[in-house]
């Protein structure tokens, strides 16, 4: 039995279109993170970026369960004493729904240079319009 290690040049990258309308935030984010890593492929190699490019549309119409809109908080700290700021999920979805999905997926990717590179393959848009028609993305229902 031979274990093969694949490089990025061995894999053909594809573009995927995902409609986030009426999808649950966490479930959508976990499946997006899995596809960005390339875990859906039989050639999966943990130390290589073998995932697909993903275009997410209708990010503003994402669902959450329970009272997460009011209870879930996103924190940011300036580094100075008393410099912590917080926003609820409701505020984040109103201002930039793309950031809510991006932060959820980022937490599920590796915390290194490879994870940052994988996150650049995720394209998120608030409405149904996107500028990636030329890449001919295939529609995937997640």
Ordered by start, the domain boundaries in the chain are: 11-64+99-139
Sign of torsion over alpha carbons 25, 65, 70, 81: negative
Residue 94 is predicted with a pLDDT of 94
CB 89 within 8 A of CB 100: yes
- What would you report as the CA-atom Rg of the chain, rounded to the nearest whole angstrom? 17
Comparing CA positions, the residue from 119, 18, 115, 120 lying closest to residue 59 is: 18
pLDDT in tens, 25-65: 999 999 999 999 999 998 888 888 999 999 999 999 999 99
Residues of the chain with pLDDT below 50 are none
The pLDDT of residue 122 is 98
CATH architecture of 11-64+99-139: Alpha-Beta Complex (3.90)
pTM for the model stands at 0.92
pLDDT at 98: 95
pLDDT at 88: 97
Report the pLDDT value the prediction gives residue 43, as an integer from 0 to 100: 86
**DSSP classification of residue 135:** G
DSSP state of 62: -
């Amino acid at each position: 039995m031979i274990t093969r290690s694949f490089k990025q040049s061995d894999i053909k990258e594809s573009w995927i279109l995902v409609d986030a309308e009426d999808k649950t935030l966490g479930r959508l984010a976990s499946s997006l993170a899995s596809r960005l890593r390339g875990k859906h492929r039989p050639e999966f190699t943990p130390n290589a970026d073998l995932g697909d490019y993903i275009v997410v549309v209708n990010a503003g119409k994402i669902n959450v369960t329970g009272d997460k809109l009011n209870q879930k908080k996103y924190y940011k700290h300036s580094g100075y004493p008393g410099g912590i700021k917080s926003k609820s999920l409701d505020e984040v979805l109103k201002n930039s729904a793309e950031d809510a999905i991006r932060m959820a997926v980022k937490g599920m990717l590796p915390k290194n240079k490879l994870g940052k590179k994988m996150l650049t393959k995720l394209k998120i848009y608030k409405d149904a319009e996107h500028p990636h028609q030329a890449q001919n993305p295939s529609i995937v229902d997640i």
